[in-house]
Amino acid sequence: MRYRNVCLEAFVYTLPDEIVTSAQIEQMLAPAYERLRLPAGRLELITGIAERRFWPPGTLPSEKSVLTVEKALRVTGLDRRLVGALVHASVCRDFLEPSTASGVHRRLGLPAACMVYDVSNACVGLMNGVVQIANMIELGQIRAGIVVGTESARPVVENTIRYLNETTTLTRAEAKRALASLTLGSGSAAIVLVDRQLSRTGNQLLGGVAWTRSEACDLCHSGHDGSIGEGGRTLMWTDSDALMREGVQAGKEVFPAFLEALDWTPADIHRTFCHQVGRAHRRLLFETLQLDSSIDYPTVHFLGNTGSVALPITAALGFETGFARPGDHVALWGVGSGVNVVALGVDWQTTLPSHP
């Protein structure tokens, strides 16, 4: 896919105030750790995650998505009357129906002609939303659109802790399938796209590729829908090692097509922002793609895996700190269970102030 008329105007984020360390989670897992004879410090040692954040109990995704989009409108100065599409694309949503995007749209007072819907595709949902909005802009159907999402990790993490402590028949191998659930963190992110005439930044979305290894779709699954409005004991089971290998393999397979689509060589990639899984995944990915990991901006050690909003939050923080400079070619590398890859390239020019 290639774009000529689409600018990626801004990445905007909202983070919870409550910080939960891996050491605190292990303290809550004391009964399971003692029964399985697991050493303290194991969670951070294996994952590289020191802490993550949680929203207050009962927080609905739409509440934080509204705040994040409002911030995005202020940052970009975009007239909300020009927003032609709003896509809510996180795993977590308020209810199965209506769409979470509908509630966000109502509270933001966006136009009635604005296309509104949810997208769900594990950790690449927001990247899929970016592609859909970019396509609409490129076709001239709309002039601006926003993809937003909010992930809430508290229910999954707390239910996993409860399950591991209460289920006394679990073996170490069985308990390991819950490891990925304990790495999850919460956050909210929005990505604003506009046509070139509206853009204040000139951050041109050049294009990219999508790739699927659906033969690996059974390696991670949740036993409960991602909506949290009705409660429920949300649990997620993951073959972490196999999922990491399959995700990296998918990246290896699609990387040549990504370079070809953008007419880049590996040396043309100046900065990368990737989905945040863990230390081992990041190391293996960059070794496999034969890229220098110094071009990448990691956040997993202090935010955990925030699902579909991990990549845009990481990009927002990276741009905010000056990690990417004007003229840099930036690769956005999204990976999600399924296994799906969405990789996009941006010619970055301007970072708007995050607090206008």
Span 222-271, pLDDT tens digits: 765 555 544 456 777 776 787 778 888 888 999 999 999 999 999 999 99
Q: Cα(340)–Cα(142) distance, rounded to whole angstroms?
A: 27
Q: For 229, which DSSP code?
A: T
Query: pLDDT tens digits for 86-119?
Result: 999 999 999 989 999 999 999 999 999 999 999 9
Cβ atoms within 10 Å, residue 45: 12
Match 């100065």 to its residue by tokens.
Answer: 77
Which of 97, 174, 230, 260 does the annotation list as catalytic?
A: 97
Mean pLDDT of 157-163: 94
Query: pLDDT tens digits for 37-59?
Result: 999 999 999 999 999 999 999 99
pLDDT at 238: 73
Lowest mean pLDDT among 9-18, 215-224, 240-249: 215-224
pLDDT at 244: 79
DSSP string, 272-286: EEE----HHHHHHHH
Q: Which two tokens stand for residue 215?
A: 């033969």
C-beta separation of 207 from 329 below 8 A: no
Please say if the pLDDT value at position 161 is more than 70: yes
Query: What pairs with residue 115 in β-bridges?
Result: 85
Q: Which domains does the chain have, with CATH numbers?
A: 1-356 (3.40.47.10)
Q: HSE-up of 280 (CA within 13 Å, CB side)? A: 14
Find the length of the chain.
356
Give the chain's end-to-end CA distance (angstroms, integer): 33
Instruction: Verify whether residue 97 is a known catalytic residue.
Output: yes
pLDDT at 229: 46
Q: Cα(295)–Cα(286) distance, rounded to whole angstroms?
A: 10
Please say if the pLDDT value at position 35 is more than 60: yes
Mean pLDDT of 28-44: 94
pLDDT at 223: 64
C-beta separation of 215 from 26 below 8 A: no
DSSP string, 32-87: HHHHHTPPTTHHHHHH---EEEEPPTT--HHHHHHHHHHHHHHHHT--GGGEEEEE
AA letter at 189: A
pLDDT at 132: 98
Instruction: Verify whether residue 217 is a known catalytic residue.
Output: no
Q: Which two tokens stand for residue 39?
A: 């050493």
CA angle 184, 245, 270 (to 5 degrees): 80
Contacts of 301 (CB under 8 A, 6+ apart): 48, 49, 50, 51, 279
Mean pLDDT of 204-233: 73
Q: Cα(123)–Cα(296) distance, rounded to whole angstroms?
A: 18
pLDDT at 233: 61
pLDDT at 301: 97
Query: What pairs with residue 18 in β-bridges?
Result: 54
**355: pLDDT confidence band, cut at 50, 70 and 90?**
low
pLDDT at 247: 84
Mean pLDDT of the chain: 93
List alpha helices for the chain, DSSP H.
22-28, 30-36, 42-47, 61-76, 100-108, 125-138, 154-166, 172-176, 240-262, 279-289, 300-303, 310-320
Match 């966000």 to its residue by tokens.
Answer: 104
Which of 7, 114, 123, 220 does the annotation list as catalytic?
A: 123
pTM of the full predicted structure?
A: 0.94
